[in-house]
């Protein structure tokens, strides 16, 4: 008999499935699971909140293609993890959530933290199950891992009743399940590929739109060839940045609205026509645009628009198919075309506006000044994690990515609080494979508040993450200290602070200092440059730079307001 059934289960079932990272918050009944995971070589990272643990585990799934595990206790612990599961499922990132639950013989009796966990998780996952015996665990774990990475990736849940953790099982009854194979690579119908290639060749105003699905499929080499050989302008989505470097001459991110509005043919690579791309509809897209969709999920093809060609398959494989078709009849889109002239005109105009905003000498600083100074110092191979409202949106346009899968942000679900969990995951992977690679986590002050206690996790594991809090004293905008004091005069019990305001000049850097890291409070460009240079040179301890900016600072005037509505 095995003295602890689950201890062997973790060894045989998780390690066999090539699971390398587990993030969690332990308690009854899962403490033994975390200890067993460590015993067999799985890296267990104890977090301060299950949401952050699940965010970290899902980021591992995106960065490595193999799911990380989120370990949670029963009831409230699992409920906290649901936010991370929903985010992973919406982002299409593989993650496996493993939670303890009430003992089976106490079901429906009002057991400690009893909750319908399997039913709750089904809404947020691709697969949700409880093994009916210890002997069944290997097959359930294999199916959960396989389901998380096959087809459209996503979250899976396995429920482990507390009595299973300490039960015994006869070893000879266990059925060994081998590691699941890598996801099969699907290719599109060659006839439809030929049709799509012809549409691209005949385009007057083509545009390649690169989504995070392209990054996940490691399509950087094939897409780079497509852009370089045929002179096509491209526009990355936030996490599609770096598949082709942001400083590539064909990148039209600085003319995003114009590119989307006037393109007559769009090659959509691993991105969905949801709110992030304005549903592919007017007023943000041309009413007669032809969209070629490339996606590995059949149900996604035709969402919101009728595609001119629907290519079902792995992004990398399908782009290689397109390249084969285009090579058959050599052709290139002319860089002197009216379309390129029109795009470059807008790129130049927008860049000049951003440069003017970044060059402003007034204090407090604005977003553009902050990001200009950050960008000037960042290593090209750093991983940028970003979240917040204006912090993330403006940072996306000014902080450059040169490598694929080097930007992590709030993603499709628009989730705040993901930043530190994502950064911890990225830093753990970097520590194992590229120790010199830096992880830079750029947060709004409101976003930092969602998971700020994970700073202790960062310090406990000595992850040399640089956290930059862009502090405007609020959500979207805040109040300066003088205005706050005037409001406070109304009396402690009757403060009428706007709902978007936070405490002015909060010293978030002291949170990092409290746990042994280094904190910096900066108010000028010179102080920011000095602090960031110091942090980048220090490979020993984590750091946090608290950057004070003008509470009323905002993004530059847009042709379109947020989401889909036009200002025109």
Q: Do domains 10-173 and 360-548 have the same CATH topology?
A: yes
Pairing of strands 477-478, 474-475: antiparallel
Average pLDDT in the chain: 91
| pLDDT at site 14 | 57
Q: Report the length, in residues, of the chain.
A: 568
Question: Is residue 263's pLDDT more than 60?
Answer: yes
Mean pLDDT of 430-439: 94
Kindly state the DSSP code that residue 313 receives in the 8-state scheme.
S
Question: Is residue 3's pLDDT more than 50?
Answer: no
Token couple for 406 = 């080097």
Answer with the residue of higher pLDDT: 176 or 443.
Answer: 443
Question: Is residue 241's pLDDT more than 90?
Answer: yes
Mean pLDDT of 330-340: 90
Confidence band of 2 (pLDDT split at 50, 70, 90): very low
Question: Is residue 398's pLDDT more than 60?
Answer: yes
Question: Is residue 144's pLDDT more than 90?
Answer: yes
Domain boundaries defined on the chain: 10-173, 190-344, 360-548
CB neighbours (10 Å) of residue 402?
A: 17
Question: For the chain, how big is the Rg over CA atoms in Å?
Answer: 25
Mean pLDDT of 16-24: 90
Mean pLDDT of 450-461: 97
| pLDDT at site 564 | 56
Measured over the CA atoms of residue 469, residue 473, residue 475 and residue 477, the dihedral's sign is negative
The runs of H, that is alpha helices, within 10-49 are 31-39
Token couple for 316 = 């990398």
| pLDDT at site 491 | 63
Confidence band of 531 (pLDDT split at 50, 70, 90): very high
Q: What is the pLDDT of residues 29-70, one digit of tens each?
A: 999 999 989 998 999 999 999 999 999 999 999 999 999 999
Q: What is the pLDDT of residues 169-227, one digit of tens each?
A: 777 777 778 888 889 999 999 999 999 999 999 999 999 999 999 999 999 999 999 99
CB neighbours (10 Å) of residue 566?
A: 13
CATH of domain 190-344: 3.40.50.1220
Q: Which residues contact 99 (CB under 8 A, 6 or more apart)?
A: 30, 71, 72, 73, 74, 77, 78, 81, 117, 157, 158, 159, 160
Q: What is the pLDDT of residues 104-123, one digit of tens each?
A: 777 777 777 778 899 999 99
Token couple for 122 = 């089904």
Using CA atoms, how far residue 30 sits from 35, 37, 77, in Å, is: 9, 11, 11
Question: Is residue 562's pLDDT more than 60?
Answer: no
| pLDDT at site 154 | 98
Token couple for 465 = 């993450």
Q: What is the pLDDT of residues 473-488, one digit of tens each?
A: 999 999 999 888 888 7
Between CA 103 and CA 109 the distance in angstroms is 10
Between CA 329 and CA 230 the distance in angstroms is 12
The answer to whether 24 touches 73, Cβ cutoff 8 Å, is no
Q: What is the pLDDT of residues 358-396, one digit of tens each?
A: 999 999 999 999 999 999 999 999 999 999 989 999 999
CATH fold label, 10-173: Rossmann fold (3.40.50)
| pLDDT at site 101 | 85
| pLDDT at site 418 | 97
| pLDDT at site 495 | 60
Does the pTM surpass 0.85? The reply is yes
Confidence band of 4 (pLDDT split at 50, 70, 90): very low
| pLDDT at site 555 | 77
**Range with lowest mean pLDDT among 94-103, 159-168, 244-253, 356-365:** 159-168
Measured over the CA atoms of residue 303, residue 308, residue 309 and residue 315, the dihedral's sign is negative
| pLDDT at site 561 | 60
| pLDDT at site 35 | 92
Binning the chain into helix, strand and coil, the percentages to the nearest 5 are 45, 15, 40
Question: Is residue 13's pLDDT more than 90?
Answer: no
Q: What SS3 class is residue 254? A: helix
| pLDDT at site 508 | 98
Question: Is residue 16's pLDDT more than 80?
Answer: no
CATH of domain 360-548: 3.40.50.970
Confidence band of 5 (pLDDT split at 50, 70, 90): very low
**Range with lowest mean pLDDT among 251-255, 413-417, 436-440, 558-562:** 558-562
Between CA 530 and CA 503 the distance in angstroms is 26
Between CA 373 and CA 27 the distance in angstroms is 44
| pLDDT at site 11 | 40
Between CA 247 and CA 334 the distance in angstroms is 20
Residue 171, Cβ density class (10 Å: 0-12 exposed, 13-18 middle, ≥19 buried) = exposed
Q: Which of 303, 215, 207 is nearest to 252 (CA)?
A: 207
Confidence band of 494 (pLDDT split at 50, 70, 90): low
| pLDDT at site 406 | 98
């Amino acid at each position: 008999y095995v003295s602890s059934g689950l201890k062997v289960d973790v060894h045989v079932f998780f390690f066999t499935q090539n699971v390398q990272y587990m993030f969690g918050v332990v308690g009854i009944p899962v403490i033994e699971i975390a200890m067993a995971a460590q015993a067999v070589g799985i890296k267990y990272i104890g977090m301060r909140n299950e949401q952050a643990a699940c965010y970290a585990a899902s980021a591992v799934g995106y960065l490595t293609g193999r799911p990380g595990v989120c370990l949670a206790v029963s009831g409230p612990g699992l409920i906290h993890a649901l936010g991370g599961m929903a985010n992973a499922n919406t982002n299409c990132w593989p993650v496996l959530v493993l939670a303890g639950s009430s003992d089976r013989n106490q079901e429906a009796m009002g057991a400690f933290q009893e909750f319908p966990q399997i039913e709750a998780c089904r809404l947020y996952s691709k697969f949700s199950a409880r093994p009916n015996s210890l002997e069944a665990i290997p097959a359930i774990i294999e199916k959960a891992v396989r389901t998380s990475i096959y087809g459209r990736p996503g979250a899976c849940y396995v429920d482990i009743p507390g009595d299973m953790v300490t039960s015994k099982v006869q070893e000879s009854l266990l059925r060994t399940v081998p590691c699941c194979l890598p996801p099969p690579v699907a290719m599109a119908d060659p006839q439809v590929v030929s049709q799509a290639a012809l549409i691209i060749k005949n385009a007057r105003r083509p545009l390649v739109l690169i989504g995070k699905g392209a990054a996940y499929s490691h399509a950087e080499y094939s897409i780079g060839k497509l852009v370089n050989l045929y002179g096509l302008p491209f526009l990355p989505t936030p996490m599609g940045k770096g598949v082709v470097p942001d400083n590539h001459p064909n990148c039209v991110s600085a003319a995003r609205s114009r590119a989307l509005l006037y393109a007559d043919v769009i090659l959509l690579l691993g991105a969905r026509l949801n709110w992030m791309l304005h549903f592919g509809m007017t007023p943000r897209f041309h009413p007669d645009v032809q969209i070629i969709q490339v996606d590995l999920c059949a149900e996604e093809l035709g969402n919101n628009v009728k595609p001119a060609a629907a290519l079902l398959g792995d992004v990398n494989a399908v782009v290689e198919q397109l390249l084969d078709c285009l090579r058959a009849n050599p052709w290139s889109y002319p860089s002197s075309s009216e379309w390129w002239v029109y795009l470059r005109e807008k790129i130049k105009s927008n860049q000049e506006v951003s440069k003017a905003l970044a060059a402003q000498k007034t204090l407090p600083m604005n977003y553009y000044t902050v990001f200009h100074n950050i960008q000037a110092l960042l290593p090209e191979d750093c991983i940028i994690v970003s979240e917040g409202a204006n912090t993330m949106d403006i940072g996306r346009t000014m902080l450059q990515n040169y490598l694929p899968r080097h930007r992590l942000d709030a993603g499709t679900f628009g989730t705040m609080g993901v930043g530190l969990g994502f950064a911890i995951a990225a830093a753990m992977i970097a520590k194992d494979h590229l120790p010199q690679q830096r992880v830079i986590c750029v947060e709004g002050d409101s976003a930092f508040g969602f998971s700020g206690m994970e700073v202790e996790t960062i310090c406990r594991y000595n992850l040399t993450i640089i956290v930059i809090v862009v502090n405007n004293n609020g959500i979207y905008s805040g109040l300066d200290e003088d205005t706050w004091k005037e409001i406070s005069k109304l009396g402690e019990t009757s403060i009428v602070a706007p709902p978007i305001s936070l405490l002015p000049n909060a010293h978030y850097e002291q949170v990092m200092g409290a746990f042994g890291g280094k904190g910096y409070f900066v108010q000028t460009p010179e102080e920011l440059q000095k602090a960031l240079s110091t942090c980048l040179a220090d490979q020993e301890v984590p750091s946090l730079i608290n950057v004070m900016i003008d509470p009323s600072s905002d993004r530059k005037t847009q042709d379109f307001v947020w989401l889909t509505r036009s200002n025109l």
